[in-house]
Amino acid sequence: MGTGLNADGWLEATQRSYDTVATAYADLTRYLLDETPEERSALASFAERVRVQGGGLVADVGCGAGRITAHLHQLDVEAFGIDLSPGMIEVARRDHPDLRFDVGSMTDLALPDASLAGLIAWYSLIHIPDDELGSVIDQFQRVLRPGGPLLLGFHVGDESIVKTHGYGGHPMHLQVHRRRHSRMRTWLDDAGFVVETEKTLTSAESPLGGIILARRKTA
């Protein structure tokens, strides 16, 4: 389905949009997990996988204002955040000064191979075009240890739209992609992941959301 937005500039459009809404985004989503028990359960399961496997660094990729990073710390996970938007990282550092947050892109993660005990992309793949998503998941596979868990949250559906405003009515201009679990499983399988659990739900996070917990294959 056509989106009306030039895919070649999607990274720049995503960065500009989230720089614009960073403060409002943080204010509007800060306590969202209080309203989403199934999401909290998924995060707890992910954290338990990390701890059982001996712990280590966990990247929250597309961390926004850092609320998921901070929640993982409450679950005794050594998490740090990465986001494309300098504005979001500034707010994350302001709100969570004791945690690590880096500006970076999931398309080219500045992390060594097999350096992470776990990785989470919580509704942050929704702006990645289809023709780029496979290479992004390849990046996740590269930086995860063999057997390391990967937790994904995403909007479920079949179409892409252009988001022109949000988070307090501020202007935005970026693509939002909805995807089925079957498509996500194909990308994950191609990249060397095994899907362990998946679910579809309706919550404060998304009118129709998807969650997948996978792990990097060990061989």
Q: Is residue 149 over pLDDT 80? A: yes
Q: How far apart are CA 1 and CA 114, in angstroms?
A: 36
The 10s digit of each residue's pLDDT in 68-98 is: 999 999 999 999 999 999 999 999 999 999 9
Average pLDDT over residues 158-171: 74
Q: Does domain 21-157+180-216 have CATH number 1.10.3720.10?
A: no
Average pLDDT over residues 131-160: 96
Strand partners, 166: 170
Residue with tokens 């050594």: 78
Residue 34 corresponds to which amino acid?
D
pLDDT for the residue 146: 97
166's enclosing H/E stretch is: strand 160-166
pLDDT for the residue 204: 86
Tokens of 188: 């994950």
- The size of the chain, in residues, is 219
> What confidence category does residue 13 fall into, taking pLDDT thresholds of 50, 70 and 90?
confident
Q: In percent, how much of the chain has pLDDT > 70?
A: 93
DSSP 3-state assignment of 88? helix
- Cβ within 8 Å of residue 51, ≥6 positions away: 76, 77
List the chain domain ranges: 21-157+180-216
> What confidence category does residue 18 fall into, taking pLDDT thresholds of 50, 70 and 90?
confident
Handedness of CA 154, 29, 118, 40 (dihedral sign): negative
